[in-house]
C-alpha cells in the first residue's frame, strides 16, 4: 500500500475542498491514486446528498454573473437548510459558480433538472449536479438549485442586495452615457419591485382586479356616476406609476422616472429579471 503523506492529503484537499479526514481516507482507499481518490470523494458526496435530499431548504441566496464583453447576464437562486450555511464561503462560491455556468453554457436548458445534467462549464469531468454535491459533501447540509435565468443580446447590468436575499439582472439596448446607470436601475428594481417593464405587460386579470379595487374605493366617496370613472382612472394611473418600471420615480432622483432616466442615458430597457429567495416568481 502506498504511503499517504500530509502533503498528499493537503494536495487532495486543495483540489476538492473536502474535509481532511475524508481526503486521507479516500487516498488510502485509492492506494495513493489522486484521480481515483477524487472519484471516491465524488461518490461519497452523492451518498451524502441522497441522504439529505428530503430535508427542507428554507434558506438560501441569490447569485448573479455579468459578462459585458459577451453581453450576457445570469441569475440563480440556491437554497440550503440554514442561515449560517447561506452565508458560508463554500455556499457563496457555489452560488457564484452556478451563476457563471448559466451565463456561459452554450445551450441554456428549460428546466433545473436538465441544467443539473449538463457538463459543468469549468470542466473537470463533472456535471452541474456533481458540483453541487461536492459542496453538500463538505457542509453536510441539503442544497438545491431552485431556479435560474439568463439575459443576452445587449448591454447588461445587475445588482445584488447586500445580504444576497434579492438580486436583479437587466438587459438594455444602447450604451449608457454613465456606465454605472444600469447597476443603479437594477438596484432600483431590487428595492421597488416593479411588476412589469411597461403597462402593456401587466396581465389583463391583474389590471381588472386593480380596476375593481379602485371602483370600490371610488364608490365609497358618494360621488355621482359621471365622476366615479374619472376617480377610477386616476387611481389606476397612480397604481401603474407605482408598479410599472418605466413609470416609477427613480429611487436615487425622484425628479425623474426610470423611463426618463433611460432616455437621458440613450438606452432602451428591454427586460429585467428579479429574484428573491423563497419567491416562486421573478
Between 211 and 224, name the one with better pLDDT. Answer: 211
Between 21 and 66, name the one with better pLDDT. Answer: 66
152 & 267 share domain: yes
Distances (CA, A) of 210 to 100, 237, 245, 257, 274: 39, 11, 17, 22, 22
Beta strands in 81-122 (DSSP E): none
Assess contact for 217 and 169: CB atoms under 8 A: no
Predicted local confidence at residue 206, as pLDDT: 93
Within a domain: 140: yes
Residue 71 — very low, low, confident or very high, per pLDDT cuts 50/70/90? very high
Burial bucket for residue 123 (CB in 10 Å: 0-12, 13-18, 19+): exposed
Between 251 and 38, name the one with better pLDDT. Answer: 251
> Under 8 Å CB-to-CB from 118, ≥6 apart: which residues?
101, 105, 107, 109, 127, 128
Task: Enter the C-alpha cell of residue 226.
Answer: 359621471
Predicted local confidence at residue 19, as pLDDT: 72
Predicted local confidence at residue 36, as pLDDT: 77
236 & 253 share domain: no
What CATH number does the domain containing 36 carry? 1.10.8.10
- Chain-centre distance of CA 65, in angstroms? 9
Contacts 24+ apart (CB under 8 A), 27-31: 28/1, 28/4, 31/1, 31/2
64 & 168 share domain: yes
Among residues 66, 58, 18, which one has the least CA distance to residue 39?
18
Q: Provide mean pLDDT across the span 162-182.
A: 96
Predicted local confidence at residue 83, as pLDDT: 94
178 & 74 share domain: yes
Predicted local confidence at residue 68, as pLDDT: 93
41 & 64 share domain: no
Q: Could you say which DSSP state residue 61 is in?
A: E
Which residues are paired to 145 by β-bridges?
78
Q: In angstroms, rounded to a whole number, what is the distance separating the alpha carbons of residues 268 and 185?
A: 12
Q: Provide mean pLDDT across the span 77-81.
A: 95
- Per the structure, the count of domains in the chain is 3
Least confident of 22-36, 86-100, 235-249, 252-266: 22-36
Residue with cell 443603479: 184
33 & 135 share domain: no
Give pTM, 2 decimals.
0.79
Statement: residue 84 has pLDDT above 60: yes
For residue 44, the enclosing domain spans 6-52
What CATH number does the domain containing 219 carry? 1.10.286
Average pLDDT of every residue of the chain: 88
Within a domain: 181: yes
Beta strands in 132-194 (DSSP E): 143-152, 155-160, 166-173
Amino acid at each position: 500500500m502506498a504511503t499517504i503523506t500530509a502533503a498528499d492529503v493537503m494536495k487532495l484537499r486543495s483540489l476538492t475542498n473536502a474535509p481532511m479526514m475524508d481526503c486521507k481516507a479516500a487516498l488510502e482507499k485509492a492506494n495513493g491514486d489522486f484521480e481515483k481518490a477524487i472519484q471516491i470523494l465524488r461518490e461519497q458526496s452523492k451518498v451524502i446528498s441522497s441522504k439529505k435530499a428530503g430535508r427542507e431548504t428554507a434558506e438560501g441566496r441569490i447569485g448573479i454573473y455579468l459578462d459585458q464583453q459577451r453581453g450576457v447576464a445570469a441569475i440563480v437562486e440556491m437554497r440550503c437548510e440554514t442561515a449560517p450555511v447561506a452565508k458560508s464561503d463554500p455556499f457563496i462560491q457555489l452560488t457564484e459558480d452556478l451563476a457563471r455556468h448559466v451565463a456561459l453554457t452554450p445551450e441554456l436548458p428549460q428546466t433545473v433538472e436538465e441544467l443539473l445534467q449538463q457538463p459543468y462549464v469549468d470542466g473537470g469531468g463533472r456535471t452541474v449536479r456533481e458540483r453541487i454535491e461536492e459542496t453538500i459533501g463538505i457542509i453536510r447540509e441539503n442544497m438545491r438549485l431552485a431556479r435560474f435565468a439568463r439575459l443576452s443580446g445587449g448591454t447588461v447590468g445587475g445588482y445584488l442586495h447586500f445580504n444576497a436575499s434579492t438580486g436583479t439582472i437587466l438587459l438594455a439596448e444602447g450604451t449608457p452615457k454613465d456606465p454605472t446607470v444600469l447597476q443603479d436601475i437594477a438596484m432600483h428594481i431590487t428595492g421597488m419591485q416593479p411588476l412589469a417593464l411597461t403597462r402593456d405587460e401587466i396581465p389583463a386579470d391583474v389590471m381588472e382586479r386593480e380596476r375593481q379595487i379602485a371602483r370600490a374605493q371610488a364608490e365609497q366617496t358618494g360621488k355621482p356616476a359621471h365622476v366615479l370613472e374619472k376617480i377610477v382612472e386616476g387611481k389606476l394611473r397612480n397604481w401603474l406609476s407605482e408598479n410599472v418600471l418605466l413609470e416609477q420615480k427613480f429611487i436615487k432622483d425622484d425628479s425623474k422616472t426610470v423611463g426618463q432616466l433611460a432616455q437621458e442615458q440613450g438606452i432602451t430597457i428591454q427586460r429585467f429579471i428579479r429574484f428573491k429567495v423563497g419567491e416562486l416568481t421573478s
